[in-house]
């Protein structure tokens, strides 16, 4: 097979382009001076690496208290948003898969349009809703916003799984005397679970990373990890702690991806033997 | 059918949670935004009486320039992303299946770090003492040198649409940080994987034997790439363009953190009006404009796709008709 050198070179360049900032995130977590963000002091001498930012994170020291608080808030909101949007998204996908008609075409439009709208429009329109109804922004408004933009992604993922779903299995369950609830929880749900988990994971990553929508609906004083980081970039002497925490998150997600890869590799032969 | 879950009541029951949620938190807010644009604003940050004044104030010299800048920068970002994504997708699709999975995974992996943190790492990289700043100056000087060679009316046009400025390059005021170039660079960085993935998915289904055939028939590599590969992945290309153009239009964090005062896009203006100035009607009107600039390209893409499908169908019908005629003739 003939391979074009040019395209491989571009691919190499792009991979470097994508990874250099990630590498820097890791390196910046070891910078001793958090104000100048440089490894060199005023005389131009190398100051070496430090692990003090990691120490601060693990000991929960005062200087990183607000950062850690925002991180826990992000985790809480992402967890709850994942839960709610997985439930709503799954019922929505079931409805879209099972029925056709006017109700479902409106439903379909409602689910798809948020996917093609820039985040900021979802943020501003929710802010307008809260302004019009005079609701104070805070934890609950953030949660509502996150569920709203996550639902559509869950629906897409579960729908993809439903496409391979053999409806005759459900019919068979009914013929064997199962009620609708029993059939759903014992037949459909276990088959759909991988799709729901994938959708939930997507929702979790979207929610924990969102800064645009959150910055519209967070109100004063409530900060998730991304909004807190973007507010501390202007004047803070603790910036390396942000990078240290991000490195830890990166390690954690890499481990998670690795484990899930191992699990899927191990379960592959079982699927093949059908 | 005796399926107890297929009744009308069951349909409503299953549809209701998502339907109500999205109607309440997506459709209703959109209507509220539209309604607010037909209100004036009062000085205390509230919404004033009904009227057309917001739309009249939108011709304010500031806004059209910002809308134009946003469209132009989004276009630039899309162009660069596609130019880089095409060879990448091609290269990945030509690998064996093991490498394909690894490289495609490697392209998406940066998304497992926080977006804000990545943008912030760029901010540190683009520091005025850094090597990227030096590269940027070389680029600017080259561009100024090329600009001098252009005919006068082209120069005037480029200045008019905001793509160039006359005069020599001043190193002190030409920092890459807080400039439009930084916004374009980091936007391409952020959106590039979204451009590569759809093209790669289309390229995976592409029959590369067609390229070999074209070469056997005497086509040069690039000619075959342009005439066979690009039309072959056009579906992926269209979704790649939309996947980059739409978030680029709505971009707000990147210009906020890297664009300085030079590069204010619609997104920043919306945030400014909504949060800082508390001018709700203006923010709503800008949001409406942004929605329009997203919906127009999508409508075009859908229209184009429908036309392509119709053309494909017609071609198939004609070929079938020919075959039938040939069959009857024999």
Which pLDDT score, from 0 to 100, does residue B330 have? Answer: 53
Give yes or no for A173 touching B (CB within 8 A): no
B41's enclosing H/E stretch is: strand B39-41
pTM above 0.90, yes or no: no
pLDDT greater than 80 at residue A63: no
- Give A4 to chain B, closest Cα distance, Å: 7
Residue A12 covered by a domain: no
**Mean pLDDT, residues A69-75:** 91
Chain B residues whose CB is inside 8 A of the A239 CB are 120
Long-range contacts of A267-272 (CB under 8 A, 24+ apart): none
**Mean pLDDT, residues A2-25:** 86
Nearest chain B Cα to A228, which residue? B116
- Contact across the interface for A242 and B117, Cβ inside 8 Å: yes
Alpha-carbon separation of residue A172 from A162, B197, B321 (angstroms): 17, 39, 44
Q: What is the secondary structure of A24-64 as a DSSP string? A: HHHHHTT-SBTTTTBSB-TTS-B-----HHHHHHHHT-GGG
- Contact across the interface for B125 and A117, Cβ inside 8 Å: no
Give yes or no for A236 touching B (CB within 8 A): no
| Residue B52 contacts residue B46 (beta carbons within 8 Å) | no
Residue of A125, A141, A157 to mutate for B, most B C-beta atoms under 10 A: A125
Chain A residues whose CB is inside 8 A of the B2 CB are 174
- Contact across the interface for A129 and B19, Cβ inside 8 Å: no
Of B18, B196, B212, nearest to A89 by CB-CB distance is B18
Kindly report the CATH number assigned to the domain that includes residue A75: 1.10.3720.10
Of A2, A21, A129, nearest to B125 by CB-CB distance is A21
Of B21, B26, B32, nearest to A132 by CB-CB distance is B32
Chain B residues whose CB is inside 8 A of the A203 CB are none
Distance from first CA to last CA of chain B, Å, rounded? 48
Total tally of structural domains belonging to chain A: 1
pLDDT greater than 80 at residue A114: yes
Give yes or no for A24 touching B (CB within 8 A): yes
Q: In chain A, what is the greatest distance between 2 CA atoms, to the nearest angstrom?
A: 83
- Give A59 to chain B, closest Cα distance, Å: 22
Judge residue A113's burial from the number of C-beta atoms within 10 Å of its C-beta, 0-12 exposed, 13-18 middle, 19 or more buried: middle
Chain A residues 52-81 with CB within 8 Å of chain B: none
Alpha-carbon separation of residue A178 from A185, B3, B8, B124 (angstroms): 10, 11, 20, 61
Could you say which DSSP state residue B5 is in? Answer: G
Q: Tokens 């998150």: give the residue.
A: A249
Nearest chain A Cα to B31, which residue? A125
- Contact across the interface for A226 and B116, Cβ inside 8 Å: yes
Give yes or no for A234 touching B (CB within 8 A): no
Block means of pLDDT (10 residues each) for chain B, length 330 residues? 64 90 94 89 73 78 84 94 93 88 85 84 80 78 81 80 68 76 92 92 87 84 85 88 91 87 86 85 90 88 86 82 69
Which pLDDT score, from 0 to 100, does residue A270 have? Answer: 45
Chain B residues whose CB is inside 8 A of the A126 CB are 25, 29
| Residue A71 contacts residue B114 (beta carbons within 8 Å) | no
For domain B33-126+177-314, the question of CATH label 1.10.3720.10 is answered with yes
Instruction: Please give the residue range of the domain that contains residue A147.
Output: 68-232
- ipTM associated with this complex: 0.84
Chain A residues 91-110 with CB within 8 Å of chain B: 91-92, 94-95, 98-99, 103-104, 106-107, 110
Nearest chain B Cα to A35, which residue? B124
Which pLDDT score, from 0 to 100, does residue A234 have? Answer: 67
Count of pairs with CB atoms under 8 A, one residue in A, one in B: 245
Alpha-carbon separation of residue B119 from B116, B182, B313 (angstroms): 5, 11, 46
| Residue A134 contacts residue B263 (beta carbons within 8 Å) | no
The C-alpha atoms of residue A145 and residue A120 are separated, in whole angstroms, by 11
**Mean pLDDT, residues A112-134:** 91
pLDDT greater than 80 at residue A173: yes
Residue A170 covered by a domain: yes
Residue of B16, B99, B117 to mutate for A, most A C-beta atoms under 10 A: B117
The C-alpha atoms of residue A201 and residue A218 are separated, in whole angstroms, by 23
Give yes or no for A35 touching B (CB within 8 A): no
pLDDT greater than 90 at residue A77: yes
- Contact across the interface for A211 and B116, Cβ inside 8 Å: yes
Rg (CA), chain B: 25
Of A21, A116, A243, nearest to B294 by CB-CB distance is A116
Give tens-digit pLDDT for A212-230: 999 999 888 788 988 888 8
- Contact across the interface for B110 and A127, Cβ inside 8 Å: no
| Residue A151 contacts residue A88 (beta carbons within 8 Å) | yes
Residue A54 covered by a domain: no
Residue B52 tokens, joined: 């057309």
Judge residue B281's burial from the number of C-beta atoms within 10 Å of its C-beta, 0-12 exposed, 13-18 middle, 19 or more buried: buried
Chain A residues whose CB is inside 8 A of the B22 CB are 110-111, 114, 148, 151
Which pLDDT score, from 0 to 100, does residue B166 have? Answer: 66
Of B6, B117, B291, nearest to A121 by CB-CB distance is B291
Which pLDDT score, from 0 to 100, does residue A274 have? Answer: 37
Residue extents of the structural domains in chain B = 33-126+177-314
Of B30, B111, B114, nearest to A225 by CB-CB distance is B114
Residue A111 covered by a domain: yes
| B47-50 and B39-41 beta bridge pairing | antiparallel
- Contact across the interface for A88 and B18, Cβ inside 8 Å: yes
Residue A60 covered by a domain: no
Which pLDDT score, from 0 to 100, does residue B1 have? Answer: 45
How many residues belong to chain A?
A: 274
3-state secondary structure of A182: helix
Residue A243 covered by a domain: no
Which pLDDT score, from 0 to 100, does residue B70 have? Answer: 92
Q: Tell me the range of A39-48, A185-194, B217-226 where mean pLDDT is highest.
A: A185-194
Higher pLDDT, A261 or A73: A73
Q: What is the secondary structure of B58-120 as a DSSP string? A: TTSTHHHHHHHHHHHHHHHHHHHHHHHHHHHHHHHHTS-HHHHHHHHHHHHGGGGS-HHHHHH
Of B2, B11, B114, nearest to A249 by CB-CB distance is B114
Interaxial angle between packed helices B115-125 and A5-28, expressed in degrees from 0 to 180 and rounded to the nearest 10: 90
């Amino acid at each position: 097979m003939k391979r074009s050198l040019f395209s491989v070179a571009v691919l190499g360049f792009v991979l470097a382009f994508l990874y250099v900032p990630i590498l820097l995130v890791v390196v910046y977590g070891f910078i001793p001076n958090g104000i100048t963000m440089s490894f060199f002091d005023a005389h131009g001498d190398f100051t070496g690496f430090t692990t003090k930012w990691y120490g601060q994170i693990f000991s929960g020291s005062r200087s990183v208290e607000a950062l850690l608080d925002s991180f826990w808030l992000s985790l809480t909101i992402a967890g709850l948003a994942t839960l709610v949007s997985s439930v709503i998204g799954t019922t929505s996908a079931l409805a879209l898969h099972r029925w056709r008609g006017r109700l479902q075409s409106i439903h379909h439009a409602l689910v798809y349009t948020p996917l093609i709208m820039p985040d900021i429009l979802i943020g501003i329109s929710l802010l307008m809703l809260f302004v019009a109804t005079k609701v104070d922004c805070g934890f609950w408004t953030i949660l509502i916003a996150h569920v709203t933009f996550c639902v559509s992604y869950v629906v897409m993922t579960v729908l993809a799984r439903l496409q391979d779903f053999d409806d005759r299995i459900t019919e068979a369950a009914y013929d064997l005397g199962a009620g609708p609830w029993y059939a759903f929880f014992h037949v459909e749900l276990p088959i759909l679970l991988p799709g729901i988990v994938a959708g939930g994971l997507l929702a979790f990553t979207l929610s924990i990373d969102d800064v645009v929508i959150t910055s519209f609906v967070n109100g004063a004083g409530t900060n998730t990890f991304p909004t807190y980081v973007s507010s501390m970039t202007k004047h803070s002497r603790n910036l390396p702690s942000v990078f240290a925490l991000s490195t830890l998150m990166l390690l954690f997600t890499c481990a998670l991806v690795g484990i899930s890869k191992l699990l899927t590799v191990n379960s592959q032969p079982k699927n093949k033997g059908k | 059918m005796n399926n107890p879950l297929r009744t009308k009541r069951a349909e409503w029951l299953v549809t209701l949670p998502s339907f109500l949620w999205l109607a309440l938190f997506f459709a209703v807010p959109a209507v509220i935004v539209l309604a607010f644009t037909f209100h004036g604003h009062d000085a205390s940050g509230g919404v004033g009486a009904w009227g057309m004044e917001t739309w009249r104030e939108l011709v304010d010299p500031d806004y059209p320039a910002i809308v134009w800048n946003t469209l132009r920068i989004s276009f630039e970002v899309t162009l660069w992303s596609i130019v880089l994504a095409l060879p990448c997708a091609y290269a990945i699709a030509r690998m064996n299946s093991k490498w394909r999975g690894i490289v495609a995974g490697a392209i998406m992996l940066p998304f497992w770090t926080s977006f804000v943190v990545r943008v912030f790492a760029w901010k540190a990289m683009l520091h005025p003492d850094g090597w990227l700043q030096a590269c940027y100056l070389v680029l600017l000087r080259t561009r100024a040198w090329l600009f001098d060679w252009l005919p006068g009316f082209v120069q005037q046009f480029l200045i008019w649409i905001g793509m160039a400025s006359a005069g020599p390059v001043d190193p002190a005021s030409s920092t890459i940080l807080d400039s439009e170039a930084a916004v374009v660079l980091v936007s391409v960085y952020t959106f590039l994987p979204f451009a590569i993935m759809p093209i790669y998915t289309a390229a995976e289904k592409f029959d590369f034997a067609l390229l070999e055939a074209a070469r056997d028939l005497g086509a040069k590599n690039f000619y075959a790439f342009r005439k066979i590969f690009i039309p072959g992945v056009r579906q992926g290309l269209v979704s790649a363009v939309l996947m980059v153009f739409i978030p680029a239009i709505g971009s707000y964090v990147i210009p906020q953190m890297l664009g300085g005062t030079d590069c204010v896009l619609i997104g920043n203006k919306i945030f400014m009006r909504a949060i800082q100035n508390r001018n709700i009607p203006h923010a709503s009107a800008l949001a409406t404009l942004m929605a329009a600039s997203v919906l127009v390209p999508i409508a075009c893409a859908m229209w184009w796709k429908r036309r392509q499908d119709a053309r494909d169908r017609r071609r198939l019908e004609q070929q079938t008709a020919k075959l039938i005629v040939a069959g009857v003739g024999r």
